[in-house]
Structure 1
Amino acid sequence: MKTYLPQIERRILVRPNQTFGILNYDMDNAYPQRMLELVAQSPTAKDCWNKRTKFIGGNGFEEAALGKQIVNDKGLTVAKLLKAIAKDKALFSGFAIHVNYNANFKIASVNYVKFEDVRIGDTDNTETSDKFAIYSDWGRKTWKNIMRSKITFMDKYNPNELVIKQQVEAAGGWEKYKGQLLYFNPEINDYPLIEADSVWEDFETEAGIKIFNNREVTTGFLPSTMLFMQSRRKEADNSSNIAHGVDAPSQLEKDLGIFQGAKSAQKIIVIEYEDESAKPEFQPYAIQNNDKLFESTERSVEARIIKGFSVPKELINAEKTSGLSNGSEKKQAISELNDNTAPDRVELSEALAGLFCHYHTDINQTGNWSITPIPANIADEVAGIKAGAAINQLLQSTLPTPNKIAALVYAYGFKQAEAEAMCA
C-alpha cells in the first residue's frame, strides 16, 4: 500500500530575475499589482481594506503636534506618512520608506514609497544584493516592456555612519547618492502575501457577480430567447466581408440589438415579413434560476472575504437589528478590531520611532510615538442618538398607546413592562 501527501501549490513563487537583478514577486513579478486590481473590483474586499487601514492608523498620534511636522521639501507631514504606510500595512502587511542623509550622516528627508513598487535585490547578485529595486510599472499597465533604465536601486536601510560613508563613496559622492530604503516586511528574504490571500479567488467571484448584475440591467432583464428565421440571402453590404467569411448584420439584427437594454425597455419593434414562411419565430428556453444562485453565492463570498481580512462583520455589513442593540454590537466589534490591529500599530510606532531618532532635528521631544486607537464609544454615541431621537418622536406622536407599545417591543427590543411604563 502506497501513501502520499497531496501537494498544495504555493501561493507565490519567488525566482531570481537575472535580467533585472531582482527576485520576482511571483511568476509574473506582478503579484501585488494583480491583488490591487482584484481588491478594486470587489466592493467587500475594498471596504475591508479601508476598515483595516482606518484602525491601524487609528486617530493619529497621541502627541497631536507630532502629526503636523513636515519631513521633506514636498510638504509631507508625519500624519500623512502614517496614513500612507498604514494603508500598505493593512493589505500587504508591510510598507516602504525612503530616507536620505546630509553630510552629518543625519536623515535630511523622508519619503513614502508604494509597497507594490519595491522588489528585493537578488541575493546571489553581487551588484544588487542588499539593495531594493523601485519601479512604478512592474505590472506593465503603462508600458509593454519594463525599462531597466527607469529602475532605481537603493541600499538597504542602515543608519550606521560607516555604512553610509561606504555607500556614498560607492555612489560617487553625495551628489549621486540616492539614500536608503526602509523595507518593512514580515518575511525574511521573501515576499509577503496580502492579508486575505487565502480568499483572493472570492474577490474575483464577487467582481464576476457584479458584472453579471450589470449585464442583466443593460439587457433589460430579458429572458434568454432563441430566434428562428429563414436563411437570408447574401446582401450587398456583405460583399466586402466575403473574403473574411463574416456577414454584416441585417437590419433586423441591428433593430433587435437596439431593442435590448434598460433604456429601451418601453420601445416597440415592428417586423415586416412577406409571407408566413418568412415570419421570424421567437422561442424562449428554460434555464437555471440564476438570480437565486447568484444571491446565495454572493452572501457566502462576502462572508469569506470578511473572514479573510479578520474584520468583524458588524463593521462591514451590520445586522439589521434594533438601533440600541446594534450600538452594543458595533461597540464590541470596534473593540475586537482594535485588539486585532494593536500589533500593527505597535510595529508602525516602533518603526517610526527608530527612524526619526536619526532625523536631523528633534521633531518629537517627548519620545512618544504611540498611535491612538479608534474609540469604541462612538458606536454608542451614534446609535444612541439616532435611537433616542426616534423613540422620542414615537412617544410624542398621536399613535394609539397599544401601537406605541408594540413598536417599542418589536422595533426597539424593549420588554413589555418597560414599553408600557414609557407610554404611561
Structure 2
Amino acid sequence: MKTYLPQIERRILVRPNQTFGILNFDIDNAYPQRMLELVAASPTAKDCWNKRAKFIAGVGFEEAKLGKQIINSKGLTLAKLLKAVATDKALFTGFGIHVNYNANFKICTVNYVKFEDIRMGDTDNVDTADKYAVYNDWGRKTWKHISRSKVIFFDRYNPDPEVIKQQVSAAGGWEQYKGQLFYFNPQIDDYPLIEADSVWEDFETEAGIKAFNNREVTTGFLPSTMLFMPARREEADNSGGVGESNNSPSQLEKDLGTFQGAKSAQKIIVIEYEDEKSKPEFQPYSIQNNDKLFESTERSVEARIIKGFSVPKELVNPEKSSGLSNGGEKKEAIREFNDNTAPDRAEITEVLEELFSHYHKPLNPSGNWNIVPVPANVAEDSIGVKAGSAINQLLLAQLPAESKIATLIHAYGFKQAEAKAMVQGLI
C-alpha cells in the first residue's frame, strides 16, 4: 500500500547536475543564495542570525593567545576563522574549511570557504565523487551563465598520507594539487536546510510589510483616488517616426506626479480648465483599513521568526519583555541560549582540534580548543546601569536594614537571602 500526502512537499530537491558533475542544491541549485537574500530583507531574521552567530562564537577561545595565531599567507587568524564558521553554522548549520599539505603530509595552510559556494560532487560520477565543487556565483547574480572553467573541485578531507599521495599523483604533482575541503554537514549525503527553514516564508512576509510601509511613506499616505478627465486627442508629433504617436504625459499628469510623496504632502496644486465639461474630477474610493491587520501580522511574523531561530525573545526584543529591573530575565535568557548553542560550539571545537592536530607546527600545545560562552552579564544594558545606580543609592541611604531588604525583594526581584547579604555587607 502506498501513502500519498499532497499537502507535504520537500523543502529542497537534490538532483544530479550532469553538466558540472555535482548535486544541485534545490531545483535551481541556489537554495543558500535565495535564503541569504530573504534573510537580508527581513530585519528580524537578520537580527536572529547575528545573535546565533555571536553566541556560537562566544567570546573566543579559552586559550587567550590562540585566536591571534595566523594560519595562512593572507593573514587569516584562528579568531577570524572561528567567527566566519560560526556565522555560517548559525544560518546554514554547516561550514567549509579548505586545507592544503606540504611534502611531509602536514597541513601548511588553512582557508575559510563560504558555505553557500560549496556543492557536493555527484556520487554517481567517477570523476567528481568524493569531491566538492566551489564557485562564487551559483545563483547567477553576477553572470548569466556559470563558467565551467571557474568551478574548482577539491578532494574530500582525509589526512591519511597514502590518500594524499594518490590525490597528488592524480592532480599531476604537488604544483597542481589543490588540497582538500572539510565540509561540515549535519546531514549524511544530503544538503542541510537553514536553521529557520520552517519559517522562511515569514522572512518574505516581513520584507513585504517593510516594502508596504515604505510605499505608504513615499506616497505621503495619500488615500486611493480615481481621476476622471476628458480623453486626450492625439496630436501630431513631427519629431517621431512614421506611424508613431505622441504618448508623452500631459502637464497635468506631470504635476500630479510631483504632488505625491512624503516631501510633497503639503503642496498646493492649481488646475485650470476652460469649462465644466473639461473639469477633472477626483473621486476617492474606500479600501480596507490595513493598519490593524498589518500590525497584528507583523507581530505574529516576528514571533515565528524568533521561534524558528530558537532565540529567546528577551534577546531580540528586550523592550517588549517584562524584564526585572536587575536584568534577571535577560541573564536567564543568555544562560538558556548558551545551552542551546553549546552543541554548535562543541562541534566547531572538535573540527578545529582534528584539523590542527595535523598542522605542520604546534599552535596549541595545551590542546584546549574550548570556546568561552557569552557571559550572562547585563551590566552594559541601560536598564542594568540604571538599576545598579538605584540599588547603590538605596544601599547607601539612611534607612533601616529591614526597609532596604524589603525594597530589594519587592522592587528589584532579589531573593530573601540575596537581599539580606547585600544589606549586611555594608553594615
TM-score by length of 1: 0.89
Q: Percent identity?
A: 77
Q: Do the aligned partners of residues 45 and 273 (structure 1) sit closer, same or farther apart at CA in structure 2, a change above 3 Å counting?
A: same
After superposition, residues 120-269 of structure 1 pair within 5 angstroms as 120-236=120-236, 240=240, 247-269=247-269
Which sits farther off after the overlay, 151-160 or 322-331? 322-331
Q: Aligned partners of 1:52, 1:35: CA distance in 2, in Å? A: 16
Q: Do the aligned partners of residues 259 and 241 (structure 1) sit closer, same or farther apart at CA in structure 2, a change above 3 Å counting?
A: farther
Contact map agreement 1:319 1:326 (CA 8 A) in 2: no
SS in 2 for 1:375: coil
Q: Aligned partners of 2:214, 2:160: CA distance in 1, in Å? A: 57
Q: 1:238, CA displacement in angstroms?
A: 9.9
Q: 1:320, CA displacement in angstroms?
A: 4.0
After superposition, residues 354-373 of structure 1 pair within 5 angstroms as 354-373=354-373
Q: 1:390, CA displacement in angstroms?
A: 6.0
Q: Aligned partners of 1:183, 1:32: CA distance in 2, in Å? A: 15
Residue 332 of structure 1 is matched in structure 2 by 332
Q: Aligned partners of 2:241, 2:335: CA distance in 1, in Å? A: 67
State how many pairs are aligned.
Answer: 403
Q: Aligned partners of 1:323, 1:393: CA distance in 2, in Å? A: 21
Residue 13 of structure 1 is matched in structure 2 by 13
Q: 1:377, CA displacement in angstroms?
A: 2.6
Do residues 103 (structure 1) and 123 (structure 2) align? no
Q: Aligned partners of 2:245, 2:317: CA distance in 1, in Å? A: 52
Q: 1:395, CA displacement in angstroms?
A: 12
One-letter identity of the residue aligned with 1:231: A
One-letter identity of the residue aligned with 2:114: K
Q: Do the aligned partners of residues 246 and 314 (structure 1) sit closer, same or farther apart at CA in structure 2, a change above 3 Å counting?
A: farther
Superimposed CA distance per residue, residues 220-270 of structure 1 (whole angstroms, 9 cap, x where no aligned partner) = 000111111111211345984995788321111111011000111121111
Q: Do the aligned partners of residues 281 and 3 (structure 1) sit closer, same or farther apart at CA in structure 2, a change above 3 Å counting?
A: same
Contact map agreement 1:131 1:154 (CA 8 A) in 2: yes
Contact map agreement 2:326 2:384 (CA 8 A) in 1: no
SS in 2 for 1:64: coil
CA RMSD of aligned residues (A): 2.7
Q: Aligned partners of 2:382, 2:262: CA distance in 1, in Å? A: 39
One-letter identity of the residue aligned with 1:37: E
Which sits farther off after the overlay, 257-266 or 156-165? 257-266
Q: 1:35, CA displacement in angstroms?
A: 0.2
One-letter identity of the residue aligned with 2:116: E
Residue 36 of structure 1 is matched in structure 2 by 36
Residue 312 of structure 2 is matched in structure 1 by 312
Q: Aligned partners of 2:132, 2:85: CA distance in 1, in Å? A: 18
Q: 1:277, CA displacement in angstroms?
A: 1.3
Q: Which residues of structure 2 form unaligned runs of 5+?
A: 397-406, 420-427
Q: 1:3, CA displacement in angstroms?
A: 8.6
Do residues 94 (structure 1) and 97 (structure 2) align? no
SS in 2 for 1:103: coil
Contact map agreement 1:219 1:260 (CA 8 A) in 2: yes
Q: Aligned partners of 1:19, 1:323: CA distance in 2, in Å? A: 56
Contact map agreement 2:326 2:412 (CA 8 A) in 1: no
Which sits farther off after the overlay, 264-273 or 103-112? 264-273
Contact map agreement 2:154 2:181 (CA 8 A) in 1: yes
One-letter identity of the residue aligned with 2:59: N
Q: Do the aligned partners of residues 245 and 334 (structure 1) sit closer, same or farther apart at CA in structure 2, a change above 3 Å counting?
A: farther
Q: Do the aligned partners of residues 382 and 281 (structure 1) sit closer, same or farther apart at CA in structure 2, a change above 3 Å counting?
A: closer
Q: Do the aligned partners of residues 69 and 232 (structure 1) sit closer, same or farther apart at CA in structure 2, a change above 3 Å counting?
A: same
Q: 1:384, CA displacement in angstroms?
A: 2.9
Report the structure, 1 or 2, having the larger helix content: 1
Q: Do the aligned partners of residues 40 and 252 (structure 1) sit closer, same or farther apart at CA in structure 2, a change above 3 Å counting?
A: same
Q: Do the aligned partners of residues 414 and 54 (structure 1) sit closer, same or farther apart at CA in structure 2, a change above 3 Å counting?
A: closer
Q: Aligned partners of 1:103, 1:395: CA distance in 2, in Å? A: 68
After superposition, residues 264-343 of structure 1 pair within 5 angstroms as 264-320=264-320, 324-325=324-325, 327-343=327-343
SS in 2 for 1:97: strand
Q: Aligned partners of 2:111, 2:205: CA distance in 1, in Å? A: 36
One-letter identity of the residue aligned with 1:357: S
Superimposed CA distance per residue, residues 21-59 of structure 1 (whole angstroms, 9 cap, x where no aligned partner) = 000000000000000000000000000000000000001
SS in 2 for 1:100: strand
Q: Aligned partners of 1:313, 1:241: CA distance in 2, in Å? A: 63
Q: Which residues of structure 1 form unaligned runs of 5+?
A: 397-407, 419-424
SS in 2 for 1:52: helix
Q: Aligned partners of 2:120, 2:234: CA distance in 1, in Å? A: 61
Residue 76 of structure 1 is matched in structure 2 by 76
Q: Aligned partners of 2:389, 2:245: CA distance in 1, in Å? A: 70
